Chains A and B, each alone.
Chain A
Amino acid sequence: MRRTLTTGLRHAALLVSAAAFLAPVAFLVVGSFKPEGRILADAGSWRAFFPAHWTLDNYRDVFARVDFVRFLLNSLLINGAMVLSGLAVNSLAAYALARLRWAGRPFVLGLVLATLVVPFEAIAVPLFYGLSAIGWRDDWSVQVVPFVANPLSIWLFYVFFAGLPRELEEAARVDGAGVLRTFLTVVVPNARAAFATVAIVTLLFYWGMYLWPLLMTAGPHARPLPLAIATFYTLPPLRWGDILAFGTLMVAPVLLLFILFQRAFVRGVAATGIKG
């Protein structure tokens, strides 16, 4: 009796929480298919989540008013380049720190640990000034290169590599493989989980980045989606339907990615918590 009661309460609590988490998302997606006039009018009732009339006007508007595809491509390019180059640069550095003996090792490890505690916001202003002063701004590369080397990624790789058994590498070395060959053919295939984790954590932290492109991009040609939605929101006329359609369009690809690779996402986040 008591057991069913607690189970019931548990399910009720979960259900209510789930509704609270889902509501804004449903509001966004459903609202994007509503005629402009209904969005605010329906916002205060259950109708906010059930469109009576469906329309694609808002989506048509988005593509007519701004170059959405350009923003999407900018975001894909920036994040794709950042993740791929980040995986290479940080895994190599972590391997050097975890496995190789070389003179500067303690110094670099110290640098990684020291920079781990510097939040990006603490260096945004000087970085903005310094890079602008050398004329490097308003393109996609300035949104990638400063973020490739990442202390958290190095740390995650480092912990993973340190936990791998040495025997495989030693076997490869005995067979005459060089350090790079050993890394590529033995370590990388055994560290797929670490690569997935770092890729996902990088994406989660940087794909929504707003402050940096705000400081560094002027025109629309290099503007990524998170800045583009904020700009679109301030671009008169204020049409909520268009804004919600823009938002649905921009979040759809990541949401899809998330649902497809949910396990990897969860594992990645959990790893930062346990190892971070």
Chain B
Amino acid sequence: MSGAARRAPGARREAAAGLLFALPALLGLALFVLGPFLFAVAVSFTDLHLGSPLPVHFVGLRAYRRLFEDPVFLRALVNNAGFALVVVPVQTAAALALALLLDRPSRLRGLYRTLFFMPVVFPLSLVSVVWVLLYAPGPEGTVNALMHWLSLGHWRARDFLHDPALALPALMLTSVWQGLGFQMIVLLAGLQEIPAERYEAARVDGAGAWARFRHVTLPGLRNPLVFVVLITSVLAFRLFDQVRIMTHGGPDYATTTLIYEAVRAAFDRGNVARGAAISVVFFVVVLGVALVQRRLVRERRELA
């Protein structure tokens, strides 16, 4: 009886403190994440245009209908998807390879890790500007010269960023260079969490290197791998800085992306309704990618 009476003011204080502690974050998330997102959904059903003196109308699904009739927008979707389809497997495999190479005590491990991670601290805008120079057209461009050397002289100098076939791959390479270190660190940490006994047990069972990788390493890395694939896929759909700086979506829309189109619409052309509709589509796509991957992971777990 007396215990409950004593606890009551404590519990009330705790309840007050809980709300108070969470309040700034709650306000921030509501005002700057949830609110704007709901606002985007609302605006996407109107004809809101920056600067227009005309009254704003509710126009239903018009903005969405027009998006899916617009070849440039469809091209942006295709570009994002293509980017994801290439970069996600390539970058994940490369990050895993580097992590495996480094998953072994060595004096140089710290140094290598530093080198691979270094580009991650470079702002993408700086990376983009530097790579514009690396992709310089003509045989004196660094990448052209490297290709020439690797191909034993068969490579003819190309203008990567103005070539419809090469511009998107060029952006992919830049992005992989910048982002790979992040994934590698995550996977390396995952590798180090796998208990050595499991490898020992597999070895005792007579498993070879490949079998050990297949049955010990990969299952042990499941969570970090899922995370890496997910975050790389989302990044692929967020692609913007490189496009704005290196190609402006060109040549002939070969590198335009969802976010680039959203910014072009809302900021450069003042068509806020269209920009909002693209933002919503973008969110749905990202959510879809996340759900599909979770689904795949779950099914595999059930099978196993």
Question: Do A and B come into direct contact in the complex, CB within 8 Å?
Answer: yes
A269 to B136, CA, bound (A): 33
Q: A208's closest neighbor in chain B, by CB?
A: B123
- Is A255 in the interface zone, CB < 8 Å from B? yes
Partner of A255, one of B25, B112, B118, B131: B118
Interface size on A, residues (CB 8 A): 97
- Is A236 in the interface zone, CB < 8 Å from B? no
A101–chain B nearest beta-carbon distance, Å? 6
Q: A-contacting residues of B (Cβ < 8 Å)?
A: 11, 13-19, 21-22, 24-37, 39-40, 43, 48, 50, 97-98, 101-102, 104, 108, 110, 112-134, 136, 139-142, 144-145, 177, 180-182, 185-190, 193, 223-224, 227-228, 231, 234, 238, 240-241, 244-245, 259, 262-263, 266-267, 272, 275-276, 278-280, 282-283, 286-287, 290
- Is A156 in the interface zone, CB < 8 Å from B? no
Chain B residues in 8 Å Cβ range of A209:
123
- Is A58 in the interface zone, CB < 8 Å from B? no
Known A111-B34, A123-B33, A149-B28; contact A210-B241, beta-carbon cutoff 8 A: yes
- Is A4 in the interface zone, CB < 8 Å from B? no
Judging by beta carbons under 8 Å apart, are A204 and B121 in contact? yes
Q: B-contacting residues of A (Cβ < 8 Å)?
A: 10, 13-14, 17-18, 20-25, 27-28, 31, 39-41, 43-45, 48, 89-90, 92-93, 95-97, 100-105, 108, 111-112, 114-115, 117-119, 121-130, 145-151, 154, 178-180, 183, 204, 207-211, 214-215, 225-227, 229-230, 233, 240, 243-244, 247, 250-251, 254-255, 258-259, 262, 265-266, 269-270, 272-274, 276
A225 to B278, CA, bound (A): 28
A187 to B126, CA, bound (A): 39
Interface of A is mostly: helix
Judging by beta carbons under 8 Å apart, are B32 and A27 in contact? no
A17 to B43, CA, bound (A): 47
A216–chain B nearest beta-carbon distance, Å? 10
Partner of B34, one of A93, A96, A115, A227: A115
